[in-house]
Amino acid sequence: MVRIDNELCIGCGLCVADCFPKNIIIEDKKAKAIFNCMECGHCVAVCPQNAVSIEGYEMREVEESTLESAALDPDVLLKAIKGRRSIRRFIQKPIEDKKLMNIIEAGRYTPTGSNLQGTSYVVVRDNLPQLTKMALESLNKEAQEILINTEISRIYKVHARRWITMCDHYSQDGRDDLFFHASAVVCVVSDSAINAGLVASNMELMAFAQGLGMFYSGFFVRAANQNKEIKQFLDIEDEKEVQACLVLGYPDVKYYRTVPRKQAKVVLK
């Protein structure tokens, strides 16, 4: 629910003009919230008098900000995007709590459809060996079923053989071909794959901005969503799923150039 401080409001109408669901009107020269609020916070951000608040939110977190003061150099940003690589070689160094929280904050402030904000996060550090074992055992079990199924395509059988090898390596000598002995895993949990994808993308950029390396583990996402024990271990509600898994650590590899990519297919009309 939007609250407007009438003592501070000057009736300028900026919040009215910027409210997409048309939840605010001017009445008696003051702004007034009426209905259909998405709690997107545009009214909070656009008000020059700081007269707007939203119930249920910690308003002390709101910061003074303009796009100009937070502008990114587009060339630097594009170079960062081109230069980032999926990292699977890590040094054994813990990730500082502050850096992990910055990654979560980057996800928390990502826009979501209808401002649902339905994404949550599970950070695994101390219990990573236990999670690794559970996930590999789950993938190994599924692999056995895939290999005897004559109707499953060849690519899945290739993955299945790899999962079996990964599980064998881990059980025999502790070799981790799932998380590659990373320092932390962050699971992005949601009932919306699109929202979670948007969130994970911003989290990825924050990780690299802080000198961390990461990769997305699709294998773990598959294992987690097909194994109730893993979801229980992660305290994930039944209706939610792990939509993305960011495997994080300090990189033990340095790349000297970008990589080639296919030309973009663009249709102009």
Query: pLDDT tens digits, residue range 131-186?
Result: 999 999 999 999 999 999 988 888 889 999 999 999 999 999 999 999 999 999 99
**Is residue 85 over pLDDT 90?**
yes
CB 218 within 8 A of CB 153: no
Are 92 and 15 in the same domain?
no
Give pTM, 2 decimals.
0.91
Task: Give the span between the Cα atoms of 2 and 23, in whole angstroms.
Answer: 9
Task: Give the span between the Cα atoms of 93 and 105, in whole angstroms.
Answer: 22
User: Per-residue confidence at 248, pLDDT binned at 50, 70, 90?
Assistant: very high
**Is residue 36 over pLDDT 80?**
no
Residue 157 belongs to some domain of the structure: no
Residue 68 belongs to some domain of the structure: no
Are 51 and 95 in the same domain?
no
Task: Give the span between the Cα atoms of 235 and 172, in whole angstroms.
Answer: 29
Q: What is the mean pLDDT of residues 119-137?
A: 97
Residue 8 belongs to some domain of the structure: yes
Tokens of 6: 């009438």
CATH of the domain at 211: 3.40.109.10
Residue 69 belongs to some domain of the structure: no
Counting residues of the chain whose pLDDT is more than 90, the rounded percentage is: 89
Are 8 and 112 in the same domain?
no
Q: What residue has token string 């932390």?
A: 184
- Determine the pLDDT at residue 154: 87
Tokens of 163: 């999962």
Task: Give the span between the Cα atoms of 26 and 16, in whole angstroms.
Answer: 7
Model confidence pLDDT, tens digit, residues 94-111: 999 999 999 999 999 999
Q: Domain range holding 41?
A: 2-61
User: Per-residue confidence at 231, pLDDT binned at 50, 70, 90?
Assistant: very high
